Amino acid sequence: MTVLPAVTGAPAPPFTGALRRHGPVLPVLLLIAMLALPLGAGAEQEGSGGTGSLADAVSGLVVIFCAVRAVRHRQRPLTRTALVVLGLPVVAVAVAALGAGSVSDSLVGMARYYQILVLVPAAVLILVRDRNDFRLVAWGLVALGLWQGALGVYQYLTGTGASYAGEDIRAVGTFGATDVMGMSTVVAYGLVCAVALALGGGTARVRIGALVCAAGLVVPLALSFSRGAWIATAVVCVAQIVCAGLRRAARLLAIGVAAAVVLVGGLGVGTSMLQERLSSITQVTAAPDQSVTDRYTMWAAAIDMWEEHPATGVGLKNFPAYRDSHASLALSAGSDVAGAGASFRRQPLLSPHNMYLLVLSEQGLLSLCAIAGAWLAMLVLGVRRLAKAHRGTGGLDCALIACGLLVWQLIDFVYADIGGPSTVLTSVVFGLAAWWALAPAAEREAAAGR
């Protein structure tokens, strides 16, 4: 009887090969997928604290997985530069926690800031090993944006969204009426990634697919009625187009202006509510809507708090306690919450809806300099590598994604702060920006491309 030799070296099945190549980054994709579930509505209050959600629990598992993997592989996870940049908020928040009103507020506030600014970004930086992993996470953000955006468009068309101007038409996705910024944030992240992939993708198929996704994400972003997301997305997308090349920028901007003229001027798409919402941004003295009045009143209150405690602020999570004593009578009791499955109620205003003023009022100028300094360092280092990628070293799409997401977040922080179930996705964005700016792998691949 003839015995056949055992077959060795057989190629692994495609799924097994993909799992082996992208295994370390899969927990990050799982974290993104958690935001597709209707888990977060009402799970967390505004401001810098909250009770958390399943996505927050998964983010903790991602950090643990990253730590165990680093120990098993006996690798030095972060460079000295990365340790310094990501370590600046650690010291700042720890000092600010000493002024919290209670031990529980101190611990909850520290955990939240460390989760968003330090731990999850560091885990993403370590688990993303190369540009292919980076692009996979970016496509995950695009997919999440498309899913939430499709739900938002359905809510607008069927009148099942959050309440806006007396009608349940505001697109909020799975985040509910208590987190009206959630869907707009997710959709904007996906749009920024899609535009970058359309501009710097490696193949025509990738670029066309990304362009189609970007066009599809514009509609739900508009229907979110989120002014801060509109401003940040418009600025970043224009900057991405310009960075990709001036000639291409001129053509694309001309096409965009022509499309806007046809849709708004010719077909009348969104001429009433959308234009009214956009014009309300500058209406501060001449009959502004109440949300604008509340926002600027809380900004003034935050600045007043900082002026009384310039170095260390009023203490972590203490903005609500000091709000009424520093705000003018123009501040309303709260914002109206209704629609998207929620009954009407008044939601208290517990933060200034400005990340910089939130940190300044609660933690003082020293903490703001440390936290904003870390973001500025990532931006400077990321832009330097963007310039190298633009000169032909490769990875232009990754550069546009990382820098675009970081700039989007820094602009949006003028109109929003951390809080709500979608905030955990902000930590992933900071992680992608940190990988491009700080990871040695990004620099090595650039050298190999050159």
342-347 β-sheet, strand order: 167-170, 162-164, 335-339, 342-347
Q: What is the CA radius of gyration of the chain?
A: 23
Q: What pLDDT is recorded for position 41?
A: 40
Q: What average pLDDT does this structure show over 288-313?
A: 86
Cα–Cα distance for residue pair 147/187, rounded to 1 Å: 9
Tokens of 25: 């980054």
Q: What pLDDT is recorded for position 296?
A: 87
Number of H helices, E strands in the chain: 18, 4
Cα–Cα distances (Å) from 49 to 40, 53, 104, 206, 250, in that order, read 14, 12, 11, 39, 44
List CB contacts of 381: < 8 A, sequence separation 6 or more: 81, 437, 438
* More confidently predicted of 408 and 204: 408
pLDDT at 120 over 80: yes
Q: Which of 91, 186, 107 is nearest to 145 (CA)?
A: 186
pLDDT at 15 over 60: no
Q: Identify the H or E element spanning 58.
A: helix 54-73
Q: What average pLDDT does this structure show over 123-139?
A: 94
pLDDT at 2 over 80: no
Cα–Cα distance for residue pair 199/449, rounded to 1 Å: 18
Backbone angles phi, psi at 168, to 5 degrees: -85, 70
Helix 26-34 crosses helix 423-438 at what angle (to 10 degrees)? 150
Strands 342-347 and 167-170: unpaired
Q: Identify the H or E element spanning 91.
A: helix 80-97
Helix 54-73 crosses helix 423-438 at what angle (to 10 degrees)? 30
Q: What pLDDT is recorded for position 279?
A: 59
Q: How many residues does the chain have?
A: 450
Q: What average pLDDT does this structure show over 81-104?
A: 88
* Alpha carbon 319 to its chain's center: 23
Instruction: Give the position of tokens 């009770």.
Output: 51
CB-neighbour burial class of residue 33 (10 A; exposed 0-12, middle 13-18, buried 19+): middle
Instruction: Give the position of tokens 């806007």.
Output: 260
pLDDT at 9 over 80: no
Q: What pLDDT is recorded for position 346?
A: 77
Residue 299 binned pLDDT confidence (cut-offs 50, 70, 90): very high
Residue 349 binned pLDDT confidence (cut-offs 50, 70, 90): confident
> What rounded mean pLDDT belongs to the chain?
83
* More confidently predicted of 362 and 349: 362
- pLDDT, one tens digit per residue, over 412-443 is 999 899 888 889 999 999 999 999 999 887 76
pLDDT at 50 over 70: no
Residue 249 binned pLDDT confidence (cut-offs 50, 70, 90): low
Cα–Cα distance for residue pair 240/245, rounded to 1 Å: 9
* More confidently predicted of 372 and 337: 372
Q: Which of 208, 175, 179, 211 is nearest to 193 (CA)?
A: 211
* More confidently predicted of 303 and 270: 303
